[in-house]
Amino acid sequence: MPKINDIEIMELGDMEGEKSSPWSSTIIVVRVTTSDGQVGYGEAPTTMMTLPVLEEVRELSRILKGREVTEIQANRMEIYKHSFYLTVSMETTAALSAIEIACMDAVGKIYGMPVFDMLGGMLNRRVRAYANGWYDGCVEPGEFAKKAKKVAAMGFTGMKFDPFGKAFDSITEKQAAHAKEVVRTVRKAIGDRDIMIECHGRFSSNSAARSCAPLSEFEPLFVEEPVHPDQFEGLRRLRRVLKSPIALGERVLDRNLFLNYLRENLVDVLQPDITNCGGILEAKSIATMAESFGVEIAHHNAFGPIQTAATLNVDVTIPNLLIQESFEMFWPKWKKSLVRSGYSLDDGYFSVSGKPGLGISLDERILEEYKVKGMEPFNQGEPPWVVKGTFK
């Protein structure tokens, strides 16, 4: 069978043109070429770790070059054997994910079948999307409402947003009241469309209770990462007082680490990120495990179009899919143009092409013209995980 002949790493971006968020100003694209000339593409996340991830892809390439590209699970175990910090290093899991996605893309092309058929075939013909990244520059309730109406007019039946301004760890009574008014105004503006409350893992347990519990009256589809991601016991305490469904998972690195949240009944919706949980096969395993607990999946998907294509190839195969995050409509032009085919987003729903592998083709001009080097921009006054212009 074909072997992994080369693993190329490309950092793409527009340091000045990204409007939704600093974390999305760069993406890392991985291109795997096999010994018989087949090509597959993957993508890795970059949030304040662009160069560490890039170097980790190089490190894992030393392990994988020359191995058979179709032996996805054996190759993962080889990395598991050699990479001492894999289960606690997002840089390593991101690198592994990018390479695994690229190998799955190549293998699908070798066998002439889409990745979703390699996972058991299509179950969901369309995937409902919710909008994110739409509220850049919004601070006051009216600003959120005005943009929310535009998002609804695009056909989205759900949208996620962070109403908490610059509150971090703790929240004042004034800040909590402001956040509640933002949510109230958006709910009034968009009617019965679904809203999701983004907390970005910013709060202690007590502060999460003060900020999120009053929002239950607006019936959010879920509240995302309400407590700091390392405060497992804090999440348990919050669970006793928060009526709204809880979602989390973008910073959980494999299925074994997800198990504690499921076993302890601390989560209603899992949000694995296919570009940092280990890739496509691991994401499928997480979804299957969650199904056994009656928990739904809403994959985190905040980076680029290769990630979206990989995520959708899993989405269409799982029975416990809830909804899919989408930044597509709010990307800069270069990112929208990078992938020319593979999936579409129409009236708030995704569909996949069904072509072999991930089903995508890339614009080589974008790969050349938007090459960059270095870390993504840093703003002392605004952390990199917020939507631009909202941490005020």
Which secondary-structure segment (H or E) carries 26? strand 26-34
228 is catalytic: no
Q: Where are the alpha helices (DSSP H) in 221-328?
A: 232-239, 255-263, 280-292, 305-315
Query: Is residue 49 within 8 Å of 66, Cβ to Cβ?
Result: no
Q: Coil, helix or strand for 185?
A: helix
Which whole-number Å values give the CA distances from 52 to 59, 263, 375, in the listed order? Answer: 10, 33, 9
371: phi > 0 → left, psi -120 to 50 → alpha, else beta; which?
A: beta
Exactly one of 178, 228, 299, 300 is catalytic; name it. 300
200 is catalytic: yes
Q: Say which residues have a Cβ less than 8 Å from residue 22's Cβ, sequence separation at least 6.
A: 376, 377, 378, 379, 382, 384, 388
Mind giving me the DSSP string for 44-98? E--TTTHHHHHHHHHHHHHHHTTSBTT-HHHHHHHHHHH-TTGGG-HHHHHHHHH
Exactly one of 178, 200, 228, 299 is catalytic; name it. 200
- Specify the residue for token string 């016991």: 233
Q: What share of the chain is helix, strand, coil (3-state, %, to 5)?
A: 40, 20, 40
Q: What is the spatial order of strands in the sheet that 39-44 belongs to?
A: 4-13, 26-34, 39-44
β-strands 296-297, 269-270 pairing: parallel
Query: What residues act catalytically?
Result: 200, 300
